[in-house]
Amino acid sequence: MPSISLAVYCGSRMGHHPAYKEAAVAVGHWVGERGGQLVYGGGKNGLMGVVANAALDAGAHVIGVIPQALMEREHANTRCTELFVVEDMHERKAMMAERSNAFIAMPGGIGTFEEIIEQWVWRQLGYHGKPLGFLNTRGYYDTFLQAMHHSMKEGFMDQSQIDLLKHGDNVADLLAQIYPNA
């Protein structure tokens, strides 16, 4: 596995602000410019397609993992260096986790939340020790992070769980936290 093998969770939609697309391009370029590997959901729609194509354009190895049921809906990105068509979301998430050494969530919907939260849970349970973070473009994750702090304040989480998360609104700064030697 390359020293940078970043799993990116993000929307299959573009969102309403151009900053989301700009951030996706920046993430893809960052990975490619460092000779890294991008692991993502395999679609060509929305931010997923943007980050993958930007990574490919910058020379990254791109692994797409898409369930058979989403082949048409998310329009599989046949530009991927490797494209795996799997049975279901469980297999997709397992393969993405196996082929990456860090995880970030960019803006996205319920699937994005579910995938990054699962990795966060697995990290705090000790199933892996891989870093994870939120790219907080335009403050997208502000209310989520506030909710997590509220959960801690109410006694359902502790600071050590919060400390497992990296977050920031600048692509290079966030990825430097996740890959300090890159």
Instruction: Report if residue 43 sits inside a domain.
Output: yes
Q: Is residue 2 part of a domain?
A: yes
Q: How confident is the model at residue 73 (pLDDT cuts 50, 70, 90)?
A: confident
Q: What is the average pLDDT value for the chain, to the nearest integer?
A: 96
Q: What is the pLDDT of residue 71?
A: 82
pLDDT at 72: 76
Burial group, residue 91, by CB count within 10 angstroms (0-12, 13-18, 19+): middle
125-137 pLDDT per residue, tens: 999 999 999 999 9
Residue 74 predicted with pLDDT over 80 = no
How far is it, in rounded angstroms, from Cα 77 to Cα 34? 22
Q: Give a yes or no: residue 77 inside a domain.
A: yes
Is residue 170 in some structural domain?
Answer: no
Write out pLDDT tens, residues 15-38: 999 999 999 999 999 999 999 999
Q: What is the tally of structural domains in the chain?
A: 1
Alpha carbons 156 and 148: distance in angstroms, whole number: 9
The pLDDT of residue 179 is: 98
In a domain, 69, yes or no: yes
Does some domain include residue 38? yes
CATH no. for residue 24? 3.40.50.450
Instruction: Let me know: does 60 contact 31? Beta carbons within 8 Å.
Output: yes
The pLDDT score that the predictor gives to residue 148 is 97
pTM, 2 dp: 0.96
More confident position, 2 or 149: 149
151 lies in a domain?
A: no
Task: Tell me, yes or no, whether 141 lies in a domain.
Answer: no
For 78-110, the pLDDT digits (tens) are 999 999 999 999 999 999 999 999 999 999 999
60 and 37 in contact (C-beta within 8 Å)? yes
The token pair at 80 is: 């991927």
Q: How far is CA 181 from the centre of its chain?
A: 19
Burial label for 144, CB within 10 Å (0-12, 13-18, 19+), is middle
What is the rounded average pLDDT of the residues 125-152?
98
Structural domain that includes position 9? 1-87
